[in-house]
Structure 1
């Protein structure tokens, strides 16, 4: 089985959804190849200016700042219920483009575990540790902690390398009618199950079991 999914490190529900999905996979003892595709939920954000999340959230949804703070705290609590030490409400948002380019650099090494580890650390850095994803030192620290070459990361960040690959992922999202993330395509043989959103662990388990058993065909009729 293979799971192709669109995700963004700026999206709190992506980390929650991916964590739940991995729990489901582990509990079912499945061997599944994961492939992440880039999807920037905030493509207009700057590399240079880090905006406090409460200000960004209030502006984006047209709500008072005190309401935004309450809603962000609720998201933090959902993350913590999944064992993630969320501090999303106190984060500062920037562009995630360079973070996605770092993942593409990791993908070029043909090491699935390396890619998943870097994705995990990028999500944790922003959503739990209040680090900014456009900070080159943060990206270098994460990449080198998983064995990537520091000079190679620096050269990538100073160039346009992997920009096209990120854009292709985002174009693929549009072609597949993926308008929000997380979004998962679970493939088994000729069967593909599309799952939009962060299901619960139990819902992911049921979907995986139905796809494996073939029961999913009956439920889709």
Structure 2
């Protein structure tokens, strides 16, 4: 079974959804036969690498709500993160552009280090409050994952893997993906949003049982927490 996950490294529900999928896989008896591949998706391709605004201020401006309401919304997301063992530090988070982070992930995929780099990029942004567009941050993540620092620096400097990022994003558009996380199982079934662990577990069982059947892609679950158009749902 192959699960393709479109996500962005500054999307809180993408990190939560990643962890919920992992917890579901831990309960799945055929987990050794499941391949998970992370695909690139930028919530805001025009995002600046640095902004004077906090994530609370960005949310408040985006939705036209008070700063207090934005903080409450982020607190709720933080509690969802805690429930799956994650720590989100909204007060010190550094909103940024993620294009170079996605290029690094594409390079890591080629080198067999995709999962290590993806996890570290999420952790760096949400827990360590690092600016994941910063070159030194990316190089440190690459080195920690076992990638060659000098080669990684060359990759980041000369713009390599930009085409791969754009290809993933074009494929997402072809599938009608408007928000992330978005999970496609065996190119037949789709799950939209950071669904509960039980939903992922049932989906794994269903796809495993029906994987030999030819059928069009069907949405197995929707309306979960997700991010779209440069922002995340706060209801």
Same fold (TM over 0.5): yes
Residues 94, 133 of structure 1: 8 Å contact kept: yes
State the partner residue of 2:44: 42
Q: Could you say if the C-alpha distance between residues 51 and 135 of structure 1 is closer, same or farther in structure 2, counting changes exceeding 3 Å?
A: farther
Q: Confirm whether residue 62 of structure 1 aligns to residue 64 of structure 2.
A: yes
Distance between the aligned counterparts of 2:185 and 2:9, measured in 1?
21
The CA deviation string for residues 122-143 of structure 1, in whole angstroms up to 9 with x for no partner, is 0011011111111111111110
TM-fit CA distance, 1:214: 3.1
State the partner residue of 1:205: 201
Distance between the aligned counterparts of 2:90 and 2:8, measured in 1?
14
Q: Could you say if the C-alpha distance between residues 72 and 89 of structure 1 is closer, same or farther in structure 2, counting changes exceeding 3 Å?
A: farther
SS at match of 2:171: helix
TM-score, scaled to structure 1:
0.90
Let me know the Cα RMSD of the aligned residues: 1.8
Distance between the aligned counterparts of 1:184 and 1:148, measured in 2?
27
TM-fit CA distance, 1:204: 0.5
SS at match of 2:180: coil
Distance between the aligned counterparts of 1:88 and 1:125, measured in 2?
12
TM-score, scaled to structure 2:
0.85
Distance between the aligned counterparts of 1:88 and 1:2, measured in 2?
33
State the partner residue of 1:116: 115
Distance between the aligned counterparts of 1:90 and 1:165, measured in 2?
31
SS at match of 1:9: coil
Where do 5+ consecutive residues of structure 2 fail to align?
219-235
